[in-house]
Amino acid sequence: MATTAALPFHPTPRRKLPPASAGASLRQLCKDGDLREALRQLAARSARGRAPPPTDHYGWVLDLVAVRRAVSEGRQLHAHAVSTGALGDDDAGFLATKLLFMYGKCGRLPDAHRLFDGMPARTVFSWNALIGACLSSGGAGEAVGVYRAMRASEPVAGAAPDGCTLASVLKACGAEGDGRCGSEVHGLAVKSGLDRSTLVANALVGMYAKCGLLDSALRVFEWMRDGRDVASWNSAISGCVQNGMFLEALDLFRRMQSDGFSMNSYTTVGVLQVCAELAQLNHGRELHAALLKCGTEFNIQCNALLVMYARCGWVDSALRVFREIGDKDYISWNSMLSCYVQNRLYAEAIDFFGEMVQNGFNPDHACIVSLLSAVGHLGRLINGREVHAYAVKQRLDSDLQIANTLMDMYIKCYSVECSARVFDRMRIKDHVSWTTIIACYAQSSRYSEAIGKFRTAQKEGIKLDPMMMGSILEACSGLKSISLLKQVHSYAIRNGLLDLILKNRIIDIYGECGEVCYALNIFEMLDKKDIVTWTSMVNCFAENGLLHEAVALFGKMLNAGIQPDSVALVGILGAIAGLSSLTKGKEIHGFLIRGKFPVEGAVVSSLVDMYSGCGSMNYALKVFDEVKCKDVVLWTAMINATGMHGHGKQAIYIFKRMLETGVSPDHVSFLALLYACSHSKLVDEGKFYLDMMVSKYKLQPWQEHYACVVDLLGRSGQTEEAYKFIKSMPLEPKSVVWCALLGACRIHKNHELAMIATDKLLELEPDNPGNYVLVSNVFAEMGKWNNVKEIRTKMTEQGLRKDPACSWIEIGNTVHTFTARDHSHRDSQAIHLKLAEITEKLRREGQYVEDTSFVLHDVSEEEKIDLLHRHSERLAISFGLISTASGTPLRIAKNLRVCGDCHEFTKLVSKLFEREIVVRDANRFHHFSGGTCSCGDFW
CATH number of 328-428: 1.25.40
d(CA 450, CA 751): 46
Return the domain boundaries, the chain. 241-327, 328-428, 529-629, 812-933
Q: Which of 248-257, 328-337, 585-594 has the lowest mean pLDDT?
A: 248-257
Cα separation values, 453 from 2, 433, 597, 787, Å: 34, 11, 44, 47
Domains 328-428 and 529-629 share a fold: yes
Indicate the pLDDT class of residue 49, thresholds 50, 70 and 90.
low
Q: Which amino acid is at 170?
A: L
Q: Burial code of 560-580, b = ≥16 C-beta within 10 A, e = fewer?
A: eebebebebbbbbbbbbbbbb
Q: Which of 36-50, 442-456, 769-783, 901-915 has the lowest mean pLDDT?
A: 36-50
Is the confidence at residue 842, as pLDDT, over 90?
Answer: yes
Q: Are 53 and 45 in contact (CB under 8 A)?
A: yes
Q: Which amino acid is at 37?
A: E
Q: What is the pLDDT of residue 17?
A: 41
Q: Which of 238-242, 386-390, 561-565, 586-590 has the lowest mean pLDDT?
A: 238-242
Backbone angles phi, psi at 926, to 5 degrees: -120, 120
d(CA 61, CA 38): 7
Report pLDDT digits (tens) over 177-194. Answer: 888 998 999 999 998 888
Q: What is the pLDDT of residue 517?
A: 94
Closest to 573 measured CA to CA, from 620, 522, 506: 620
Q: What is the pLDDT of residue 521?
A: 94
Residues linked to residue 810 through DSSP beta bridges, in sequence order: 815
Percent of the residues in the chain that have a pLDDT greater than 90, as a whole number: 40
Indicate the pLDDT class of residue 339, thresholds 50, 70 and 90.
very high
Q: Which of 44-48, 456-460, 922-926 has the lowest mean pLDDT?
A: 44-48
Indicate the pLDDT class of residue 12, thresholds 50, 70 and 90.
very low
Q: What is the pLDDT of residue 800?
A: 73
Give the count of beta carbons closer than 10 Å to the beta carbon of residue 496.
7
Q: What is the pLDDT of residue 372?
A: 93
Is the confidence at residue 176, as pLDDT, over 50?
Answer: yes
Report pLDDT digits (tens) over 125-149. Answer: 888 888 888 888 888 888 888 888 8
d(CA 903, CA 128): 99
Q: What is the pLDDT of residue 607?
A: 95
3-state secondary structure (DSSP) of residue 816 = strand
Q: What is the pLDDT of residue 14?
A: 42
d(CA 223, CA 315): 42
d(CA 928, CA 915): 8
Is the confidence at residue 115, as pLDDT, over 70?
Answer: yes
Q: Which of 408-422, 618-632, 707-721, 741-755 has the lowest mean pLDDT?
A: 741-755
Indicate the pLDDT class of residue 22, thresholds 50, 70 and 90.
very low
Per-residue pLDDT averaged across 82-86, rounded? Answer: 79
In the predicted model, what is the mean pLDDT of the chain? 87
Q: Are 909 and 838 in contact (CB under 8 A)?
A: yes
d(CA 934, CA 898): 14
Backbone angles phi, psi at 429, to 5 degrees: -125, 135
Cα separation values, 536 from 11, 399, 443, 466, 543, Å: 55, 41, 21, 19, 10
Is the confidence at residue 299, as pLDDT, over 70?
Answer: no
Q: Does domain 529-629 have CATH number 1.10.10?
A: no
Range among 6-15, 112-121, 354-363, 872-881 rated most confident: 872-881
